[in-house]
Structure formats: C-alpha cells, structure tokens
C-alpha cells in the first residue's frame, strides 16, 4: 500500500464544518470569572508553596493540611482507590444512580484524582470536577477538570449554573475543619434528587481475638488518635462516627449507612477479603506515619524518632501475622430532596 495524504485525512473522521453546540456559552462566564482571584483559573500562588518537614512534603495553602503530600501519600491514595474498587466490584459509588444518567459529578478532596479520573473515563457524558486544596500533576481527560479550592468555602465553579447529580467524598478524615460548612456546600451544589456519598475508615481497630496483647500499639494508636489528634489538629479524625448525623442535619433524606470490615493483613480465608486485607495493610503502612507526624511533633511534643518507633511497633505487630485486626469502612449516602 502506498502512502496517500488524501486517504490518511479521510481516516480522521472529523466534520469539515464544525457543528456548533447551541448550549455553548460558558466561556463568557470564564472571562468574567478570570478577573476574580477566587476563580478556578486564577489560583492563588500560595497553593504551590510546599515545605519539607521531617523528610515529608507538605503544602500550606489555606492553613495547610496536617498530612503530607508526596510520593508516599500518592501510593497511599492509589491503594485506597484500588481497594474500594475491589470492595465495590469495580463500581465507583453505591448511591442509586444509573451511570448513563450522570451528567455532573464532584469529587471533594480529590487528591491525585484517581476516583475523578476513573469515573470520567467510565462515563464520557458526565462532567467530573475534582476539588482539592493541593495541586497535583494529573492525567488530563476532556470531561474531567480540577479546581484548587477549600471545599468548606463557597464553590466558584467554571459553570456557575452547574448542579451536581453526585458529590463524592472519600478519605477526608483529619483534613476538614468545618464539616457543617462542607455538607452545606454539598447540599447547595447538588440538584434536587442528587446524592452525597462519603466513605471513611473508622479509626477503631477491632479484633476477632480474645487474647489481644494489652500493649498493642495498633490499638493504642487508634485510641490516642481519637483522644488527642483531633483536638490538637483542630480537625476531626473521627468523622466516620458523626457523618451520618451531620449529613442528615444538612437536610439530606434517605440517609443510609453501611459498614464493611477491612481486615488488616491477608488473614481471611475468603479470597476477596484476603486481597482487601493485603490492600488495607498497604494503606495502613503507607499512611500511618503521615497521619501522625505533623500533629504529634508540632502539637503533642513527640520527637520524630518517637513517631517512627510507634509506627515500627505497629508494623511489627502486623508482620507477626498472629492477630486478626479489622477496621470498619463506613459508607454514608443521602439524597437532596
Ligand atoms: C487522603 S487524600 C484523599 C484523596 C481522594 N479522595 C482519594 O480517596 O483517593 C485527602 C485530600 O483531601 C484534601 N483536602 C483536605 N481538606 C480539604 C478541603 N477543605 N477542601 C478541599 N480539599 C481538601 C487534601 O488536600 C488531600 O488531597
């Protein structure tokens, strides 16, 4: 076969005259918003300020975030993402919405954007907006955009008329100062009939064993986190305990809660639970130091060595493969009436 310009051009499958979308018009809005410092397109430069502390990288935008943002935290995020896909049989959410009907979806505290990007890929007719305090380098999809913003403040969307069918929140524990403000924003930015869905691991190690060592660091760290870290950080590490009530208080109806136990390690005889346990062990091991380090060293007078020693002790307990720990994953969904 010989190369022909004409043939290769014909293969491109593009119209010669570009058809116009009658609904197009939001660029005039963007021009207006571009003058506004809070627009998604004119991000405050402080969002790009990072600092190294005790070998981890943090950002300081809008008061910062007590957890690091670096390669280790990205591994932690992708592990959570893959674990949730396994738990939900490759579904991205449990709210009763047919995927083909999704048009607008928000992912709050999107992080690296694994969930937002995956859903956008699955649902090409949906516009997915990922919102986070922190900039990340992410893959680009035509129907997935990101905004750097504090989700507890007013949401300045590129399209101010946009109302979401689904607002998804996952693993935001320890990050948010004002949950009431966040849930109010979710409510205000959903369309009537739209769903909020939140998933959080409960920081409460439970065990099947009757002979749990009284000096277990896994258990002690949970208790210490719940009793001290939330207060010291001014952010709720315990949100899984209160999110159902807070979501109801924000005006959502048909609020339901589901709890799934995550084995810490591959100790289950069920093959799916075994894999979940592998993921959860990795999530715990890639997360623990980051959850503790800043709050313990800055607010609670721990040394870095003390934090690291506590983590190593907890990891050794897992590696001994004797105990059967599990943590509940709590999923709450609610509908805007
Ligand atoms: C542990 S990551 C979770 C990432 C993602 N949701 C996931 O499950 O893969 C938490 C993210 O929430 C973001 N975050 C915390 N507080 C926030 C806020 N008030 N507004 C927007 N993002 C926030 C953090 O910057 C961080 O990237």
For residue 50, what is the enclosing H or E element? strand 50-53
Q: Both tokens of residue 192? A: 């009537």
More confident site: 31 or 13: 13
Asked if 163 and 191 touch (Cβ cutoff 8 Å), the reply is yes
How many CA atoms are closer than 13 Å to the CA of 294, on its beta-carbon side?
23
Asked if 227 and 242 touch (Cβ cutoff 8 Å), the reply is no
Asked if 254 and 337 touch (Cβ cutoff 8 Å), the reply is no
Give the position, in ligand 1's atom list, of the atom nearest the Cα of 134.
25
The three-state secondary structure class of 56 is strand
Measure Cα distances from 235 to 97, 118, 230, 295, 331 in Å: 31, 29, 5, 10, 20
Closest C-alpha to 135, from 63, 46, 34:
46
pLDDT above 50: residue 33: no
The residue whose CA has the least distance to atom 15 of ligand 1 is 175
pLDDT above 90: residue 23: no
Task: Identify the DSSP state of 292.
Answer: H
State pLDDT tens for residues 207-254.
988 877 778 999 988 988 888 888 888 888 889 999 999 999 999 999
Measure Cα distances from 160 to 26, 44, 45, 154, 163 in Å: 9, 20, 23, 11, 8
pLDDT above 80: residue 8: no
Task: Identify the DSSP state of 257.
Answer: E
Q: Quote the pLDDT of residue 6.
A: 52
State pLDDT tens for residues 91-130.
999 999 999 999 999 999 999 999 999 999 999 999 999 9
Asked if 131 and 108 touch (Cβ cutoff 8 Å), the reply is yes
State pLDDT tens for residues 153-188.
999 998 889 999 999 999 998 888 899 999 999 999
Ligand 1 center from residue 58 Cα (angstroms):
13
Q: Both tokens of residue 330? A: 């709590």
The residue whose CA has the least distance to atom 11 of ligand 1 is 109
- C-alpha span between 163 and 104 (Å, rounded): 7
- Which residues line the pocket of ligand 1, CB cutoff 6 A? 65, 77, 80-81, 109-111, 114-115, 131-134, 150-152, 170-172, 175-176
- C-alpha span between 129 and 138 (Å, rounded): 13
Q: Which CATH number fits domain 52-336: 3.40.50.150, 3.40.50.20, 3.40.50.280, 3.40.50.460?
A: 3.40.50.150
The three-state secondary structure class of 1 is coil
Task: Identify the DSSP state of 94.
Answer: -
| Residue 141, strand partner residues | 144
The residue whose CA has the least distance to atom 13 of ligand 1 is 109
Q: Quote the pLDDT of residue 44.
A: 52
Least confident segment among 31-35, 214-218, 256-260, 296-300: 31-35
Q: Quote the pLDDT of residue 40.
A: 44
State pLDDT tens for residues 135-155.
877 888 999 999 988 999 999
Which of 73, 109, 181 has most ligand 1 atoms within 8 Å of CB, for mutation?
Answer: 109
Closest C-alpha to 201, from 326, 114, 327:
327
Ligand 1 center from residue 319 Cα (angstroms):
29
Ligand 1 center from residue 172 Cα (angstroms):
5
The residue whose CA has the least distance to atom 9 of ligand 1 is 77
């Amino acid at each position: 076969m010989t190369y022909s310009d004409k043939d290769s051009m014909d293969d491109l499958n593009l119209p010669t005259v570009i058809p116009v979308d009658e609904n197009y018009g939001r660029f005039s809005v963007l021009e207006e918003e571009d003058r506004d410092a809070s627009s998604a397109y004119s991000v405050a430069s402080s969002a790009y300020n990072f600092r190294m502390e005790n070998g981890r990288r943090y950002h300081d935008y809008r008061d910062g975030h007590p957890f690091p943002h670096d390669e280790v935290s990205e591994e932690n995020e992708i592990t959570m993402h893959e674990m949730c896909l396994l738990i939900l049989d490759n579904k991205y959410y449990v709210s009763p919405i047919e995927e083909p009907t999704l048009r607008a979806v928000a992912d709050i505290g999107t992080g690296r954007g694994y969930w937002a990007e995956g859903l956008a890929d699955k649902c090409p007719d949906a516009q997915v907006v990922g919102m986070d305090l922190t900039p990340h380098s992410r893959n680009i999809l035509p129907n997935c955009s990101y905004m750097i913003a504090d989700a507890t403040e007013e949401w300045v969307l590129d399209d101010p008329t946009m109302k979401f069918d689904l607002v998804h929140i996952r693993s935001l524990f320890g990050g948010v100062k004002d949950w009431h403000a966040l849930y109010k924003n979710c409510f205000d930015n959903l369309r009537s009939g739209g769903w909020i869905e939140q998933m959080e691991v409960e920081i409460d190690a439970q065990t099947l064993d009757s002979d749990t060592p009284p000096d277990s660091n896994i258990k002690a760290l949970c208790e210490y986190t719940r009793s001290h870290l939330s207060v010291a950080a001014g952010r709720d590490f315990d949100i899984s305990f209160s999110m159902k009530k807070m979501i109801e208080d924000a005006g959502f109806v048909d609020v339901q809660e589901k709890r799934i136990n995550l084995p810490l390690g591959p100790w289950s005889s069920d093959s799916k639970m075994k894999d979940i346990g592998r993921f959860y062990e990795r999530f715990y091991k890639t997360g623990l130091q980051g959850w503790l380090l800043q709050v313990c060293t800055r607010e609670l007078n721990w040394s870095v060595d003390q934090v690291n020693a506590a983590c190593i002790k907890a990891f050794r307990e897992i590696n001994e493969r004797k105990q059967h720990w599990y943590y509940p994953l709590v999923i709450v969904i609610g509908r805007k009436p």
